[in-house]
Amino acid sequence: MADKTILVIGTFDTKSDELGFLTSKIRALGGGVVTLDVSVLADGPYGVDYSRHQVAEAAGSSIAEAIASQSEHVAMNLMSKGACALARRLSETGQIDGVLCLGGTMGTDLALDVCQALPIGLPKYVVSTISFSPLIPAERLSPDIQMILWAGGLYGLNAICRASLAQAAGAVLGAARAAEPVQSAAPVVGVTSLGTSCLKYIKTLKPALEARGYEVAVFHAMGMGGMAFEQIAGQGGFACVMDFAGPELGNLLSGSVVNAGRDRFRAAGRAGIPQIVAPGCMDLIDFAGWQEIPSQFEGRPFHTHNKLVKNTFYTASERRAIAWDLNARLGESTAPTHLILPLGGIEEWDRPGGDCHDPEGLAAFLDELRATKAASVFLSETPAHINDADFATLALRIFDDWVAQGLVAEGLVPAGQPKPTQQ
């Protein structure tokens, strides 16, 4: 009797040998397998649990319609829709414990959709010829996806690709056996930040929120972290968010690959999650260490953080454009939104004497945030720096007020323990 069952997805007409190897390996390790065929033109050489016809029907269409489109793109999008629907149903009914997808560019495109359709905590593995490629933007990746390069395996089995396939089979089954459901008795507060050399408020906020009976999830706002934050917020995964690190938005607008996709600062508001926002580190633009610098930034001083990241600073006019865009996004929110302006500075290096100290640029940024704020967004100002205790105190005061109003669920303070005094 198999202890865990893995959904294996691929084109069983063209990759039957590779998919057969994967399924055999999982079964040999004591796992169960459900197979789902996303082929379009033909059936594979052996039976599957979900045929290409069933996949197309799950998309509200048919294989005949997919073939008649005479477009690989249209056909695979149709199969992707059906595969997502079936995978989601199998997950919701507890019939699968993980998913393993295999493909080239077409199969990977579909696999990314399937992984995003499945809940966080369900193991998701993709064996792809383009794993870790710049072809795959951050916004296409589910927060807990795992990938392995399908080296040497584009056509048929060989010793090199068997090594990758065997690892993937063992990895997904092992992950399914070790996985824990994403369940928290306490409400979860999502917080964005960077390293504490730059943003320090989490040292105060995390213990204070935990004392109030909340679980705190902190996301590193360097592209992938912000992407995961937005996806979880979009799925209603937080009781409230404190989005205090926003460099990914400026990075997006400036052409840096260190961004979290087009929907940064939108998901929580769309999902009805109360959000407290501050413009931490929005004076910095981050570039990948390998990225060629766009011409408009040439000649500016750059700081090399490490071999992966380098950054420079915005001009006053560029900061105004970022402020306008941030307010436009916050104005779309259907949830309570409170913007805090720390007048003393927005990251550690912009204090007097620091490399980023630019009073004129900060003033222009704050002026634009005031001037373009949507009427639906509450605004508070504090003379404090974002890393000062007074900033965290203000954020907690807003949070506590929302809890008192019933806008944010109360924390689960252990029985017999007094609730902390409101800030």
DSSP string, 145-191: EEEEE-TT-SSS--HHHHHHHHHHHHHHHHHHHH------SS-EEEE
In the prediction, which pLDDT does 422 show? 55
Q: How many angstroms from the chain centroid is the CA of residue 384?
A: 31
Q: Are residues 144 and 225 in the same domain?
A: no
Beta bridge partners, 275, equal 241, 337
Q: Are residues 198 and 328 in the same domain?
A: yes
323 within some domain: yes
Q: Whole-model pTM?
A: 0.85
Backbone angles phi, psi at 234, to 5 degrees: -65, -25
Q: CA-CA-CA-CA torsion for 235, 237, 243, 248, nearest 10 degrees? A: -40
Are 393 and 265 in the same domain?
Answer: yes
Do residue 79 and residue 137 come from a single domain?
yes
Question: Would you call 71 helix, strand, or coil by DSSP?
Answer: coil
Number of structural domains (the chain) is 2
What's the pLDDT score for residue 1? Answer: 66
Q: What is the CATH number of the domain that holds 49?
A: 3.40.50.12020
Full domain range(s) for residue 342: 188-405
Among residues 185, 220, 186, which one has the least CA distance to residue 202? Answer: 220
Whether residue 367 sits in one domain with residue 232 = yes
Distance in angstroms (rounded) separating the CA atoms of residues 242 and 240 = 7
Report the candidate in 281, 266, 97 with the shortest Cα–Cα distance to residue 199.
281
| CB contact set of 350 (below 8 Å; sequence gap of 6+) | 283, 356, 357, 358, 362
Neighbours of 164 (CB within 10 A): 20
For 197, other C-beta atoms within 10 Å of its C-beta total 10
Longest dimension (CA), the chain: 70
Classify residue 341 by its DSSP letter.
Answer: E
Distance CA(260)–CA(17), nearest Å, equals 37
Please choose, from the candidates 182, 100, 105, 111, the residue with its C-alpha nearest in 3D space to the C-alpha of residue 142: 111
Residues 268 and 364 both lie in one domain: yes
Residues 91 and 68 in one domain: yes
Per-residue pLDDT of the chain (423 residues; tens, 9 = 90+): 679 999 999 999 999 999 999 999 999 999 999 999 999 999 999 899 999 999 999 999 999 999 999 999 999 999 999 999 999 999 999 999 999 999 999 999 999 999 999 998 899 999 999 998 888 887 888 889 999 998 887 788 999 999 999 999 999 999 999 998 777 789 999 999 998 889 999 999 999 999 999 999 999 999 889 989 998 999 899 999 999 999 999 999 988 888 988 999 999 999 999 999 999 999 999 888 888 888 888 888 887 888 888 888 899 999 999 999 999 999 999 999 999 999 999 999 899 998 889 999 999 999 999 999 999 999 999 999 999 999 999 999 999 999 999 999 999 976 666 666 555
**Do residues 148 and 263 both lie within one domain?**
no
Give the chain's length.
423
List residues bridging with 309 in a β-sheet: 288
- Examine residue 93 and state whether it is found in any structural domain, yes or no: yes
415 in a domain, yes or no?
no
